[in-house]
Structure 1
Amino acid sequence: MLTELTSRESLEGALVETTDDVNTIYFPFSIRGFLEDSFPESPIRVFVYPPRGPRKYWFMIKDNEHIKVRAFGALGSNRAHLVIGKEELVKAYTCLMKNVVCDLEEANLNLELFYMNEKQCRQALNFSQPEPSLPDGYYFDEVDPLTEGELVNNTWQHAKEGDLEQTVAKLARLPSACVRYNGEPVAFEMVDPAGFFNNQFVFPEHRRKGLGAAVESKLIQQCVSAGMKPFKTVSRSNRSVLAATYTSSQWTQWKENGRPVVVIFQEWAVNE
């Protein structure tokens, strides 16, 4: 049976245990943020098995206050929710849900995960390296959460009700990067409360100029300087971004036995 970690001491221990294992890559940033109250809009609960000794399973609930699709609904619950995990674990969860819930349907997004290893993080901290270059007329800046949060949110293909408030909170509290042209944001990327890179976007008229790579490199520098270990997921259907990430010196692909690990974002919603 899963045991919830409720004390500050146990959560601090969980932070240490999960920090250097790619299998628990979603946990450290979330736990640290909870302990430091740095993102109160997304409280978490952490469960483990077994309760003592080396952990075999880790389970985390995130309840984003502005989003109606809540992360990890309890088995037997009819609440809409989102589950994220390795393919085999999510498939097991699917079987359990279908045995106990009849009016929710699942939709899967299959992804590959990329992270930065210690060497790559050290290279990002090498301040002798020049800042990512931009074409003439373009420059790095910050996004204004209050006046530009809606613009950023509207470019995210997965945005739904409640995401605008969450996007504003991300931009206000977490690292983000932006490129402007004539004063307007034309490329940007931000960080999710779970720590992964989120919503890299370049407006169509500004594409094929290296802005996506530049804004990502800028965000990497910010995150590593803040003590974060950057990671991101890429949809398996996004072949162009996958191809670029495979060959990037900044990223390491999560593989097991020489094969890419598939991560599934699985949304459970009411069948209308």
Structure 2
Amino acid sequence: MYYMNEKQQEVVLKEKLSLPSSDYHYNDDKPEEDALIINDTWQYADKGDCRCFAEKLRILPNVIIRHQGEPVAYEIFNINGIFHHHFVHEKHRRQGLGKHIELRLSQKIIQLVLNS
């Protein structure tokens, strides 16, 4: 992560993340289904972008938090090295899910870099 020094990376990696309740959980094993929902929430999306989102979900680091099986908070790491489509559904806002997905995705990417 070019904008974080080693100390900053250590701080992010040590951050203990816990979801607001047991009703929330991580799950990213439904790329086609999730791509439809993610595409619907992106204001710049076109019809064909669903396939692109599905591929990004299959290949690139991402974080999806579900509530009762539905994705309610998500963020994807884009091929050009930026975080893409940080989104929390309105009903689930103000619970820290946005910060949670941002930090969790940062941890995933830092771990990938350290392990490469």
Give me the TM-score of the superposition, normalised by structure 1. 0.39
Q: Which residue of 2 aligns with 1:117?
A: 5
Using the aligned pairs only, state the percent identity. Answer: 38
Q: Which residue of 1 aligns with 2:36?
A: 150
What SS does the aligned partner of 1:153 have? helix
Is the Cα contact below 8 Å between 1:143 and 1:177 reproduced in 2?
A: no
Give me the TM-score of the superposition, normalised by structure 2. 0.85
What SS does the aligned partner of 2:19 have? coil
* Structure 2 residues without counterparts, runs of 5 or longer: none
Match of 2:19 among 105, 111, 134: 134
Match of 2:52 among 157, 163, 166: 166
- The number of aligned residues is 113
Question: Is 1:212 aligned with 2:98?
Answer: yes
Is the Cα contact below 8 Å between 1:143 and 1:185 reproduced in 2?
A: no
Q: 1:200 to 1:173 in 2, by over 3 A?
A: same
Aligned-partner Cα distance in 1 for 2:31–2:48: 15
Structure having the higher Rg: 1
* Structure 1 residues without counterparts, runs of 5 or longer: 1-18, 21-114, 229-272
Aligned-partner Cα distance in 1 for 2:13–2:74: 21
Shift of 1:208: 0.7
Higher strand share: 1
Shift of 1:221: 0.8
Q: How does 1:193-204 map onto structure 2 within 5 Å?
A: 193-204=79-90
Q: Which residue of 1 aligns with 2:64?
A: 178
* Deviations, residues 71-109 of structure 1 (Å, cap 9, x unaligned): xxxxxxxxxxxxxxxxxxxxxxxxxxxxxxxxxxxxxxx
Aligned-partner Cα distance in 2 for 1:150–1:219: 21
Aligned-partner Cα distance in 1 for 2:29–2:90: 19
